[in-house]
Amino acid sequence: MKKIVRVLLVFVLFLSLFSCSNKKEEKNYFTLWNDCKAISSLKEYVEDVTNPNSKHFIPKADRIATFDMDGTIIGELYPSYFEYNILEYRILDDPNYKNIASEEEKEAALSIRNFVRNGVKLPDHFDMIHAHAAAKAYAGLTIKEFDTYVKNYMKVKANGFEGMTYGESFYKPMLEVFTYLEANDFTYYIVSGSDRFICRTLVETIGIGPDRVIGMDVVYKSNNQGDAEGQDYTYKVTDTLIRTDELIIKNLKTNKVKQISQEIGKTPVLSFGNSGGDCAMHNYCLANDKYISKAFMLIADDEARDHANREKALGLKTEWEAQNYIVISMRDDFKTIYGDGVKKVDFTF
């Protein structure tokens, strides 16, 4: 009789452990999403490639995902990119800098201001005009000083919204994607056209380390290095790194592919973006010749909760689907964008 009882206890314990295991696997990571193709596709993919018995199994070390930042995991429609808004402030409004800004910098900042306030189209190739102006505007700042500068601007109320600062303007549903991927042993990287150190400061608040951020880069050097090349100067314990005005790379389009290859050293199996600047990164992912892969494009089609252009977004939806990207609709797929306490309002200038 005692033997039978022991067997039953072992059996009950086994069932309990099995039940707990199943509960863990069935955890709902996507509480802020509606039922949609994008999440169904992501879950089916992850369940497949993490199954050791699947022919599509991907080892943990190769489960690499890349995410654009602006417009993919954080707002960019207030009414422009964070890095554009902070540069406009730096050059035109910062009392400690505006009087020494060059004419070239002022012209770039005024282009942003005219775009934001009057809807005037930005000049052609403005991404590079901005990059060079930004390199000059922050030259001489140490890493710590620049980090503090960005953090201070993150506290500013996001233009066009109530109840949210720039530093809080992450898309809440997309943060759940990070949690889900991490739970399934994926390593994810931010691969952005924005300044690497701006990106680092922003995503630090959501637990993403600086080693997983790739972005626009300028040359850094020691504050005591002078005109000497780095290989000719020995850094001292009393030295510190400062920004220079020399641009290394604007991390857009194929430059994203180049940087992923150089810095990660592996081809991603998942890629998330929102614009044409991310297509090269997506195509690099989809061209992975070792593992099956997927690419997702988020479209800003929610005119009620964000400053979106639905007509334009639906045109992009057709374009992205033709390129075999899976579309995420902010209007249809997100239960919330920035959180229940955030409200879209008119822009203020």
What confidence tens digit (pLDDT) does each residue in 113-141 have?
999 999 999 999 999 999 999 999 999 99
Residues of each domain in the chain carrying CATH 3.40.50.1000: 29-77+162-216+250-344
Q: Which is nearest to 177 in space by CA: 334, 340, 62, 344? A: 334
Over residues 172-195, mean pLDDT: 98
Tell me the whole-structure pTM to 2 decimals: 0.92
Q: How confident is the model at residue 102 (pLDDT cuts 50, 70, 90)?
A: very high
Q: Which is nearest to 252 in space by CA: 131, 98, 142? A: 131
For 29-77+162-216+250-344, give the CATH class.
Answer: alpha beta
Q: How confident is the model at residue 8 (pLDDT cuts 50, 70, 90)?
A: very low
Look at 21 and 97; give whichever has higher pLDDT: 97
